[in-house]
Amino acid sequence: MILTGLLARALQMSTPLMIGSLAEVFAERTGVMIIAIEGIFLLGAWGGFVGAYLSGNLFLGLLFAMFVGTCVAAIYGVMTIKLKQHQIVTGTAINIFAVGIGLYLYRVLFGVPLLPLTVDPLRNIPLPFLSRIPIIGEAFFTQNILTYIALLLMPIGCWILFRTRLGLIIRSTGENPEAVDSAGLNVEKVRLLTVLAAGAMDGLAGAFYSIGFLGLYTNDIIGGRGWIAFAICFLGNWNPMGAFLGALVFGLADATAIVIQTSGFKLIPNEFLIAIPYILTIIATISRKHFNVPAVLGTPYIKERK
Amino acid sequence: MNGMGQMDKTNHDENTTLEERMKNRDGKGWLILWPLLSVFLGLFSSGMMMLLLGHNPIHVYWDMVNFAFRDIYNIADIFAKATPLILTGLAFGFAFRSTLFNIGAQGQFYMGCVAAVFCALNLKGLPSLIVLVVCLSASVILGGLWGSLVGFAKAKFNANEFLISMMSTYVALAIMNYLLRGPLIEMKGEYPQTDVIPESSWIPSLLPHTRLHWGFIIALLAAFFAYFILWRTTLGFKIRAVGMNRNAARYAGIDSRKIFVIVFLISGGFAGLAGFMEVNGIQHMLVQGFNPLIGAEGIGIAILGNAHPFGIVLSAILFGALKVGGNLVVQTSTIPSSIIGIMEGFVMLFVILSYYIQDRISVSRSKRQLKAKERGGHK
């Protein structure tokens, strides 16, 4: 019973990390780090909640979250790709801005409610047959729709990146933009479009936190999870399968913390459990020696100035 | 070839305009114009946001200015608010001069808070001056050591300092929360906070009946210290050389790994000192959820201030004024306090845009000069 609960929780907690880190893998393969990921997660959570609350439809909430994510990614993309400003600095600015604007627009829309507003979160959909497998059936196949989407996205992402022409373009843009340019493709366009798509995915990942299981929006709802997705992309060696494994490990750490907290086991302080994913990131970053970093990661593409 | 090193190289060898701008300070008088314009546009856009809640931005800003400069208490409060911001701004700006990203000032600040409050609570009955010196040193040392761990990870394992410093903040937060719930909890044991520290450990005030304390002077000295180190010592030369071009620095015999540790030690020390300022100067206790944005605001301040210590002091005072005026407007009207964050965010974004425009202007100027020269050559 505990095992089933733990595995189910682990898969649940790793869902947004999978989507977010896959998005980051694609963007970074073109040479753009989405430092604004934490802010996009946050505004995605905001968009998901607002969309769902106002329309009364969770699906519209998810769509709105993707739209918001794309918009924020567009600001970030234009500033870093077209205007060639520094990615870390721009991303940090957007992250600060996201905290303020999310809370402010919440207030604009809803005033100051006495109780926090809630929506019914996404329901779990047991898959026929598969969910009846003992232990793992209930853990892996009784999840909400976003988890299934995430699980489908990982192999699709792998396929696109390594087996299609599009994937080749994406990878080349991060390794040798000059070659992509001389092949007649527009480097900035490839990057911008990838960043927009990644923004939509990050928005969806953020919405998982607001309407995927809590059903409400608060300003600290993400609490660094965006950074963890960012880290997983590094640790997974810019490979969708690596990101998938990383997300599972972090989901398990998160779930273990929650399970131990709720079980009333007092020997380990709560705070230590909360810190586990972050400590894990530090250890993994330190111990990882051989990285396969896209060659021009973090560098704007500058054609010869005429 | 180790990939992370490769990334670092491309990060600062290539043409990243912002960094170039921030590092080229060949004192053009109108360089101050751009930050001012960015601030104006940032406040203008925030004003548009106020319209959404049906507030007239002109009235709001007028109130803000009136509130902030209403009496000596509020004017002094601007500088009191600026004090820790100068230090977290330095924490980012100092490392940025070496093209290192210290995103973890928040955690280093928490470590400084913990050290300061621990010393203050345990040194009852000692003369005030001794207690203050011990608290100050403890906060600088603990903040610095916490920061230097990031530098060490970078030097020893070639880890990405951006990620590690980011994550270290969450670990520091967990440590502080644990200490507040356990060993450091108040006598009553009711809330996760410490007791009020004894009055002998309060930083004496600079102006009577205001919150402005001597810490402001110390923060100014810290900014001068940063300037002195960076531009007047060999160490500073090495730090900036590593920032400009790591390979060139290596050929010049500079061990950049040592520089990483030193830079993060000093940066963390600044952020830790901010903890001393807030605990011993303003709050006189430590509570959970203490100043959660001070690190991020430091980044904004450092960018607005061109990552130069004196620019950082000026921008910190501006942010202090926004906070004081903003808080009073928020208290006296229905505008939510998140407007302050929006103002800060907009200002940052416009500062970054202004770097782009400055770059364009300088490119087109050099193009014109080139053309003029060509024409001259043909004659």
**Predicted confidence (pLDDT) per residue in A69-118, tens digit:** 999 999 999 999 999 888 888 998 898 899 889 988 988 888 877 778 88
Q: Flag whether B323 is in a domain.
A: yes
Tens place of pLDDT per residue across chain B (379 aa): 333 333 443 344 334 444 554 545 444 555 678 888 999 999 999 999 889 888 899 998 998 888 888 889 999 999 999 999 999 999 999 999 998 999 999 999 999 999 999 999 999 888 999 999 999 999 999 999 999 999 999 999 888 888 899 889 999 999 999 999 888 888 888 888 999 999 999 999 998 888 999 999 999 999 999 999 999 999 999 999 998 888 888 898 899 999 999 999 999 999 999 999 999 999 999 998 888 889 988 998 998 888 899 999 999 999 999 889 888 888 888 888 888 888 888 988 998 898 888 888 888 888 888 888 888 766 5
Q: Flag whether A195 is in a domain.
A: yes
Burial of A160: CB neighbours in 10 Å, binned 0-12, 13-18, 19+: middle
- Helix B72-96, helix B294-304: angle, nearest 10: 80
Burial of B333: CB neighbours in 10 Å, binned 0-12, 13-18, 19+: middle
What CATH number did the domain enclosing A78 receive? 1.10.3470
Q: So what's the pLDDT on residue A119?
A: 85
Whole domain around residue A96: which residue ranges?
2-287
Residues 6+ apart with CB under 8 A from B142: B111, B112, B114, B115, B272
pLDDT in tens, A192-223: 999 999 999 999 999 999 998 888 898 888 88
Q: Flag whether A101 is in a domain.
A: yes
Q: Flag whether B71 is in a domain.
A: no
Which of A34, A84, A104, A187 best tests the B interface by mutation, with the highest count of B CBs <10 A?
A104
Q: What's the first-to-final CA gap in chain A, in angstroms?
A: 68
- Smallest Cβ distance to A234: which of B52, B157, B160? B160
Q: So what's the pLDDT on residue B146?
A: 97
Q: Flag whether B6 is in a domain.
A: no
Q: Flag whether B207 is in a domain.
A: yes
Q: How far apart, in whole angstroms, are the C-alpha atoms of residue A53 and residue A74?
A: 25
Number of independent structural domains in chain A: 1
Q: Flag whether A124 is in a domain.
A: yes
Interchain CB contacts (distance < 8 Å): A and B: 174
The answer to whether residues A238 and A92 touch, using CB atoms and an 8 Å cutoff, is no
Q: What's the first-to-final CA gap in chain B, in angstroms?
A: 52
Whole domain around residue B170: which residue ranges?
90-331
Number of independent structural domains in chain B: 1
Question: Which residue matches tokens 């996201």?
Answer: A98
Residues of B in contact with A104 (CB under 8 A): 49, 336, 338-339, 341-342
Contact A278 B338 (CB under 8 A): no
Q: Flag whether A269 is in a domain.
A: yes
Check residue B185 and report its DSSP letter: -
Q: Which amino acid is at A230?
A: F
Q: Flag whether A96 is in a domain.
A: yes
Contact B163 A230 (CB under 8 A): yes
Which of B167, B299, B353, B374 best tests the A interface by mutation, with the highest count of A CBs <10 A?
B167
Phi and psi at residue B205, in whole multiples of 5°?
-80, 155
Q: So what's the pLDDT on residue B372?
A: 86
* B191 touches A at CB < 8 Å: no
Q: Flag whether B209 is in a domain.
A: yes
Check residue B213 and report its DSSP letter: B
Q: How far apart, in whole angstroms, are the C-alpha atoms of residue B101 and residue A235?
A: 19
Contact A282 B153 (CB under 8 A): yes
Q: How far apart, in whole angstroms, are the C-alpha atoms of residue B208 and residue A170?
A: 63
Q: So what's the pLDDT on residue B290?
A: 83
Q: Flag whether B43 is in a domain.
A: no
Closest alpha carbon within chain B to A229: B163
Q: How far apart, in whole angstroms, are the C-alpha atoms of residue A137 and residue B339?
A: 48
Residues of B in contact with A94 (CB under 8 A): 345, 349
CA-based R_g, chain B, Å: 22
DSSP helix/strand/coil, B193: strand
Report the b/e string of A42-76 with b at 16+ CB within 10 A: bbbbbbbbbbbbeeeebeebbbbbbebbbbbbebb
Q: Flag whether B53 is in a domain.
A: no
Q: Flag whether A299 is in a domain.
A: no
Phi and psi at residue A126, in whole multiples of 5°?
-70, 125
Q: Flag whether A267 is in a domain.
A: yes
Q: Flag whether A296 is in a domain.
A: no
- Smallest Cβ distance to A298: which of B11, B15, B352? B11
Residues of A in contact with B296 (CB under 8 A): 92, 95-96
Contact A100 B340 (CB under 8 A): yes
Torsion of the alpha carbons at B26, B28, B31 and B32, rounded to the nearest 10: 110
Residues of B in contact with A107 (CB under 8 A): 53, 336, 338
- Smallest Cβ distance to A104: which of B181, B342, B349? B342
Q: So what's the pLDDT on residue B13?
A: 39
Residues of chain A with pLDDT below 70 are 1, 265-266, 289-291, 304-306
Provide the sign of the torsion angle of the four alpha carbons B246, B247, B252, B258, taken in this order.
positive
Cα–Cα distances in Å, from B94 out to A298, B207, B260, B369? 21, 30, 11, 35
